[in-house]
Homo-oligomer: A and B are copies of this chain.
Amino acid sequence: MSDTQLKSALDTLKTTGVRITPQRHAILEYLIETMSHPTADDIYKALEHKFPNMSVATVYNNLRVFRESGLVRELTYGDNASRFDFVTTKHYHIICESCGKIVDFHYPGLDEVEHLAAHVTGFKVNSHRLEVYGTCPDCEEKATKLQ
């Protein structure tokens, strides 16, 4: 499953003339297998045993390459470090305000919001960003136990 995802991603890179280096391979592999939303530093730390000399700039450079190839989506959070999401399908995120956990969920059609926004502002609309914030089950349980 994740093997085909990796192969497909490598193909996408090859066809756009991007060289497959060991570092690139490892970063992609990590993004796909963890199924999470790591920061650049998470990736850097996870791979340092395999690539003791890898620079953090290499991680950032390659995440940019992946983003530009449409393989990866960058999730920005103000002050905090960006998180990177290996893109499979269109989906939204719900974020735990207590522990920072990010969980995917699907929701169809917010086209209506885009249309209304375009109509009332005169903008030409390209995209939208939606996130839901709350408390994850784990953190919720911890909170109730303390009471």
Which residues of A are in contact with B by a Cβ distance under 8 Å? 74, 76-79, 82, 92, 94, 96-97, 103, 105-107, 110, 113-114, 116-118, 120-137, 140
Closest to A112 in B: B107
Q: Given the known A-B contacts A76-B77, A78-B82, A121-B105, are A131 and B129 also in contact in the complex, defined by CB atoms under 8 Å? A: yes
Contacts of A106 in B (CB 8 A): 120
Q: Given the known A-B contacts A76-B77, A77-B78, A129-B131, are A123 and B136 also in contact in the complex, defined by CB atoms under 8 Å? A: yes
- State how many copies of this chain the complex holds: 2
Q: How far is the CA of A116 from the CA of B94 in the complex (A)?
A: 11
A17: min CB distance to chain B, Å: 26
Q: Which 5 A-B pairs have the closest CB atoms?
A: A76-B78, A125-B134, A123-B134, A117-B132, A122-B137
Closest to A136 in B: B123
Contacts of A133 in B (CB 8 A): 125-129
A131: min CB distance to chain B, Å: 5
